[in-house]
Amino acid sequence: MRLALVQLNPVVGDLTGNAARILAACRQAEASGADLVLTPELSLWGYPPRDLLLLPARLQQQQQALDGLVAGLAARDSTLALLVGIAEPSAGAGLPGLFNALALVEAGGWQVVARKQLLPSYDVFDERRYFQPGRTPALLELERRGRRWRLGLTICEDLWVEERLLGQRLAGPDPIEALQPLRPDLLLNLSASPFAPGKAELRQRLAGSAAARLGCPVIYLNQVGGNDELVFDGSSFVVAQSGARLCQLPCCREAQQLWDAAASPAEAAHNPDPAPDPDPPEQLLRALVLGVRDYAAKCGFERALLGLSGGIDSALVAVIAAAALGPERVRALLMPSPWSSAGSRRDALALAGRLGLTTATLPISPLMEAFDAALTPALGDAPAGLTAENLQSRIRGTLLMAVANQQGQLLLSTGNKSELAVGYCTLYGDMNGGLAVIGDVYKSQVFALCAWIDSPAAAACRVDLGLPAEGELVGAAIRQKAPSAELRPDQRDSDSLPEYDLLDRLLEALVEQRRDAEQLVAAGEERAVVERVIGLLQRAEFKRRQAAPVLKVSGQAFGSGWRMPIAAR
């Protein structure tokens, strides 16, 4: 049997458009001799559809889309079978009223053949709000090429059951164990699993464990694309019973690949050799580029705008934006104040030149003077200290929003995760924007990623992303500069914060590992520093609640998966 693995990039809620994409994939698969087409979890809806699932009209559209798929196959007298992810209405009266399900679609009709058993409701997931769990294992029998195939069917979380690999697992049944007495010939896992560092390797280890337990190959098919703050990396694959990879689809790119389930060692040439996984910095860069590209496209933006300061954060966002949208569709504003160094202005212009970005320079000194004059009567004196520094940021934020509004651009905010964590950012200033591109990337990671981008190791990736292949992009002058917001003379970030290596180590422990002060002190950290960072993290919650959506590229981002109260002790 030949299976077409369709690593699909759906648009959430676009049932008609997604069905058309699936039907186009079916036509391509049939032309290449496929028998069965696989699409990701909830592929008709795009993942996650969230409260769109609660709209009855959308469920009617799903019925029409499924009937359209049947008609599309019937019109070609196709013998192709298709597995598509749907939201199946429950026959009962209780809530929630849906199953996360798979439908088998053929020219003669469609039927539900599997229901998801383990429903995640942690981090960014909230499936128990919408779905009931399936209760029984799913085995699909298909007659193809003179053989009756027994296909075990699982959906995303149903594969995540190995406590020895995960540390802990979702409470509930073990869908892999339930399939063991049914002796499947293949296990299919159709997923929508967001990107996180190291996650592609973990998925392969989980699939390898399932393959060993069931004594059969495992096909893992993942959604690809950016949907709001989530980035799905694809990275689909097939593993043998031994755990060896037999097939690998690309990271962060739509793809369709044929895999021959009946291939013997002598026939292995029919299946292409699996490509190696990209290095971690390349995976991170590709995920960020994909997140920006899809957020802009799916929200209807053709162009983007950012403020370019000559610092490393805005430099990295500029590189990502140029790769995501093309440099001709990215504009940068330079907004120097009296405290902006000549070096920073020079570095910003040089970076824009290397990337091919259009720039405009809007000095803010006259606006700073006007604000001072306007506020002095109310304050009894000119704004000073933190108030004056925040005014500079808010002036810049206002200018950026005005240009973005006038020219219909997506404003990209350039703050990093370290700043967002401790509140080293200004509401209605540098936090302005429609998307926080690197809001889930710590400052130390920003430096490391920029160093990799400027290294020879990144050359092939840069070419693939449409960036210049030769020479530095970010540039040594920017990478080696001491971090500074340049809001007052000789300012350094270290005047207000611990050094970033220390700060990021503490933040990772507090945010991603959920460790407390006593655990960190016991591990050797200085109590005063730990308690200061915890205080900053807690006090900044109200700022984060008002931030632009943050592209999630870590195990724990600030966003829908971070649910801390604002008014709390």
Task: Identify whether 445 is part of a domain.
Answer: yes
The answer, yes or no, to whether residue 314 has pLDDT greater than 50, is: yes
* Whether the predicted pLDDT of 274 surpasses 80: no
Say how far apart CA 200 and CA 196 lie, in whole Å.
8
Range of the domain at 189: 2-266
For residue 556, being part of any structural domain is answered with no
Q: Are residues 181 and 302 in the same domain?
A: no
Task: Tell which residue, 222, 224, 270, 223, has the closest CA to residue 246.
Answer: 270
> Are 247 and 105 in the same domain?
yes
Q: Is residue 28 part of a domain?
A: yes
DSSP per-residue string spanning 286-299: HHHHHHHHHHHHHH
DSSP assigned state of 510: I
> Which positions ≥6 away from 11 have C-beta within 8 Å?
17, 18, 46, 298
- Structure tokens given for 437: 């591109």
pLDDT at 269: 45
* Residue 209 pLDDT exceeds 70: yes
Residue at which a domain ends, from 210, 233, 266: 266
For 141, counting Cβ atoms within 10 Å of its Cβ (0-12 exposed, 13-18 middle, 19+ buried), the class is: exposed
The tally of domains found in the chain comes to: 2
Q: Is residue 340 part of a domain?
A: yes
Choose among 565, 444, 420: nearest CA to 504.
444
Q: Please tell me whether residue 116 adopts helix, strand or coil conformation.
A: coil
147 and 238 together in one domain: yes
Residues 314, 347: one domain?
Answer: yes
| Residue of 26, 88, 127, 156 marked active site | 156
Helix (H, G, I), strand (E, B) or coil at 88: strand
- Residue 156 falls in the annotated catalytic set: yes
Q: Is the same domain home to 228 and 367?
A: no
CATH code, domain carrying 61: 3.60.110.10
- Of 323, 327, 257, 239, which Cα lies nearest the Cα of 284? 323
Question: Cβ-count burial of 283 within 10 angstroms (0-12 exposed, 13-18 middle, 19+ buried)?
Answer: buried
The domain that holds 381 is classified in CATH as 3.40.50.620
Q: Are 19 and 123 in the same domain?
A: yes
The answer on pLDDT for 149 being more than 50 is yes
- Cα dihedral value 467, 469, 471, 476, nearest 10: 50
Among 26, 88, 116, 251, the one annotated catalytic: 116
Residues 144 and 14 reside in one and the same domain: yes
Same domain, 347 and 491: yes
**CA–CA dist 55, 270 (Å, integer):** 45
- Provide the pLDDT confidence category of residue 460 given band limits of 50, 70 and 90: very high
Bridge partners of 5, per DSSP, are 38, 257
Quickly state the pLDDT bin for 268 (edges 50, 70, 90). Answer: very low
Domain end position, chosen among 266, 297, 317: 266
Residues 508 and 311: their CA atoms lie apart, in Å, by 23
Establish whether 216 is a catalytic residue: no
Q: Tens of pLDDT along 37-88? A: 999 999 999 999 999 999 999 999 999 999 999 999 999 899 999 999 999 9
> Do 136 and 12 lie in a common domain?
yes
Contact 286, 278 (CB under 8 A): yes
In a domain, 253, yes or no: yes
pLDDT classification of 266: cutoffs 50, 70, 90: very low
Q: What residues are paired with 361 via a beta bridge?
A: 334
Q: Are residues 375 and 408 in the same domain?
A: yes
Nearest to 476 by CA among 455, 499, 501, 462: 455
Residues in the chain: 569
543 annotated active-site: no
Q: Does 247 share its domain with 172?
A: yes
Assess whether 258 and 336 both reside in one domain: no
In a domain, 564, yes or no: no
Specify which residues 142 forms β-bridges with.
149
- The reply to whether 490 falls in a domain is yes
Q: Is residue 226 part of a domain?
A: yes
Q: How many helices (H) and strands (E) does the chain have?
A: 18, 20
Per-residue pLDDT of 468-479, as tens digits, reads 989 999 999 999
- pTM score, whole prediction: 0.95
> How much is the average pLDDT of 259-274?
63
